[in-house]
Structure 1
Amino acid sequence: VRETLLLAGWFVCALVTGLADRNWQAYLRQTEQRALEAERTREEAALRRAGEERLRIARELHDSLTHSISIVKLQAGVAVHLARKRGEDVPPALLAIQEASGEAMRELRSTLQVLRTDEPAGTPALLVERARAAGLAVELTVTGEERPLPTPVDRAAYRIVQEALTNAARHAGPAKVDVHLDHEDGQLTVRVEDDGAADPSCPPAPGTGLTGMRERVTALGGTLEAAPRAEGGFAVRARLPLGERR
């Protein structure tokens, strides 16, 4: 009888322990699920606030800069028209103002479109074509198996190439620029390198462009290197994971 009671006690103890462990595992799963839901909710709220802030900035830029640039462009156009009507030579500075104001208006409209959508206005290949048409010696190389990219990765790659080409056009001088997109398993590697005037002993101060580039890459769980090359010139290398970051 004693042995029977002992076995029954062990059986009950094992049963209770198993039930307790199963309940504990269920509790842990529920806690983890609630944590994931809370994180997802916070991310959605952050994205919503960021979208609202972009729209606010777009409205401010439209209401202030668009009007001012339009006035400058209009006045320059009128001055050019009157000078030509009188048969006078148009001052080069006035023509430069007219052209610059028109270009500023086009850039502003493009910026407003980006702020309202936050979507790439093209592809890295289109950026390379535009830079080449503007006089920059740039080549594009794509390796690996191309595939549709997640929207955040596609957007980040476009902005990285855009910012790197802009910096090369401004600071590299008469240089050759190589843009390389490498589609690997699980990640996209973006490299933009030039053989310009950058000096390895004088690293550039991080400006708004590089800071924004690094923030985009970090948000995707990737890595970014942006520094002068040992052999001269400047290099931007970004590794972007293709999977969603939890």
Structure 2
Amino acid sequence: MKVQGTIIAALSCSSQQAGVYTMEDVERARIIADLLTPYFYALRAAEQAQRSAIVEAVARALEVGLRLGALKLTEALEQERQRIGMDLHDQTLADLTRLARRIDRLSRFTEVTPKALEPVARSLQQSMQDLRHIIEQARPSVLQLFGLAQAIEDHLDRSTRESGAAIRRELRDETGDALEHLEPTVSVALFRIAQEAINNAVRHAAPGTVMVRLKVADGRLVIEISDDGSGPARMYKRIDGGIDNMRTRALLIPARLSITPWRDNHGTLVRVVLPLAPELPAGGELPREERNEGSDR
């Protein structure tokens, strides 16, 4: 794998059987390597840019002799590193997993036509675009322009539509103007939690319906993402990393998060509660009495 004449990686294929690969197999491997090279180059560039930014920021803090500022900066950089890691999991890793499965299916065919490689190339381009957004540390454009409710609705519509399944979707916003007063970092965290919950429902639960409700009750913002799919026990056993990211985002705001069965122990209800005035007790999880509380839909 070369970029501008420099080798950045190598694609290795091996077999315990001698002579199993033909020259056509070698050519297909070269095509796959050429498709993957720009993406690996972008990943390495992102890591180098992040390291350079950390070194430059710490150097600036040391130059002005602000020890307290340097400590706060280190904290902020660590939080940003965690945020980027969670974003890579929520977006890029999921896309790469689908891409790897598609390449694995293609490798089983004796012939791979250019037409069959077109979806792979398109998926790579989309992953590279998503990665560029993460590198630039840009907030989701719909969230920035139109607010939290519209951003969640846009993602809900796009996710269910692109799944190819007949999934009914609905978003109910009963918050009035409460969302307009949220800090930008809080809005981003809430959006990412809702995004992960919607993605998990669509990709893993085989639901017929996915619903999102935003409301204000007793001085608290409540966001509920519910589906009538396979339920949390079955759906979430393969995606612990995604749950951890959701809980971490909730703790950092701070908000409380619960993941429970929905109606009559069917489906899943993800519930996020954020205090708009007094702060909630620490811990990031709902108490048992609220954990068992269902949606009133």
- Over alpha carbons, which structure has the higher Rg? 1
Alpha-carbon spacing, 1:46–1:53, altered in 2? closer, same or farther (3 Å): same
- Report the counterpart of residue 239 of structure 1 in structure 2: 273
Relative to the length of structure 2, the TM-score reads 0.50
- Matched to 2:75, the amino acid is A
- Matched to 2:184, the amino acid is T
Q: How far does residue 184 in structure 1 lie from its aligned partner after superposition?
A: 4.4
- Report the counterpart of residue 87 of structure 1 in structure 2: none
Stretches of structure 1 lacking an aligned partner (at least 5 in a row): 1-37, 77-90
Conservation of the 8 A alpha-carbon contact between 1:220 and 1:241:
no
Alpha-carbon spacing, 1:211–1:146, altered in 2? closer, same or farther (3 Å): same
The counterpart of 1:165, out of the listed 183, 188, 198, is: 198
Measure the CA separation in 2 of the matches of 1:124 and 1:57. Answer: 18
- Matched to 1:100, the amino acid is V
Conservation of the 8 A alpha-carbon contact between 2:84 and 2:134:
no
The secondary structure found in structure 2 opposite 1:117 is coil
Measure the CA separation in 2 of the matches of 1:169 and 1:53. Answer: 25
The secondary structure found in structure 2 opposite 1:162 is helix
- Report the counterpart of residue 48 of structure 1 in structure 2: 77
- Matched to 1:117, the amino acid is Q
- Report the counterpart of residue 8 of structure 1 in structure 2: none
The secondary structure found in structure 2 opposite 1:182 is strand
Alpha-carbon spacing, 1:244–1:159, altered in 2? closer, same or farther (3 Å): farther
Stretches of structure 2 lacking an aligned partner (at least 5 in a row): 1-66, 143-150, 280-297
Measure the CA separation in 1 of the matches of 2:196 and 2:172. Answer: 18
- Report the counterpart of residue 108 of structure 1 in structure 2: 128
Conservation of the 8 A alpha-carbon contact between 2:219 and 2:276:
yes
Deviation per CA, 1:45-97, whole angstroms, max 9, x where unpaired?
Answer: 31134446878999xxx9xxx9xx9xxx9xx9xxxxxxxxxxxxxx7875443
Relative to the length of structure 1, the TM-score reads 0.59
Conservation of the 8 A alpha-carbon contact between 2:86 and 2:245:
no
- Report the counterpart of residue 144 of structure 1 in structure 2: 175
Is 1:190 the counterpart of 2:223? The answer is yes
The secondary structure found in structure 2 opposite 1:99 is helix
Is 1:124 the counterpart of 2:152? The answer is yes
Is 1:227 the counterpart of 2:260? The answer is yes
Conservation of the 8 A alpha-carbon contact between 1:137 and 1:177:
yes
Q: How far does residue 137 in structure 1 lie from its aligned partner after superposition?
A: 2.1
The secondary structure found in structure 1 opposite 2:265 is coil
- Matched to 1:204, the amino acid is Y
Query: What aligned pairs does 1:25-104 form with structure 2 within 5 A after superposition?
Result: 42-51=71-80, 95-104=115-124
- Matched to 1:133, the amino acid is R
Measure the CA separation in 2 of the matches of 1:56 and 1:244. Answer: 30
Q: How far does residue 126 in structure 1 lie from its aligned partner after superposition?
A: 1.4
Conservation of the 8 A alpha-carbon contact between 1:177 and 1:193:
yes
Q: How far does residue 99 in structure 1 lie from its aligned partner after superposition?
A: 0.8
Conservation of the 8 A alpha-carbon contact between 2:169 and 2:211:
yes
Measure the CA separation in 2 of the matches of 1:56 and 1:219. Answer: 15
- Report the counterpart of residue 36 of structure 2 in structure 1: none
The secondary structure found in structure 2 opposite 1:215 is helix
The secondary structure found in structure 1 opposite 2:153 is helix
Give the number of aligned pairs. Answer: 181
Alpha-carbon spacing, 1:218–1:56, altered in 2? closer, same or farther (3 Å): closer
Conservation of the 8 A alpha-carbon contact between 1:187 and 1:239:
yes
- Matched to 1:120, the amino acid is P
Percent of residue pairs identical: 23
Measure the CA separation in 2 of the matches of 1:111 and 1:121. Answer: 15
The secondary structure found in structure 1 opposite 2:269 is strand
Conservation of the 8 A alpha-carbon contact between 2:220 and 2:274:
yes
Higher normalized contact order (CA 8 Å, seq sep 6+, divided by chain length)? 1
Measure the CA separation in 2 of the matches of 1:57 and 1:239. Answer: 20
Deviation per CA, 1:14-67, whole angstroms, max 9, x where unpaired?
Answer: xxxxxxxxxxxxxxxxxxxxxxxx998744431134446878999xxx9xxx9x
Deviation per CA, 1:96-133, whole angstroms, max 9, x where unpaired?
Answer: 43213312321332133134315234211211221243
Task: Calculate the aligned-residue CA RMSD, in Å.
Answer: 3.9
Measure the CA separation in 1 of the matches of 2:84 and 2:235. Answer: 35
Measure the CA separation in 2 of the matches of 1:112 and 1:128. Answer: 22
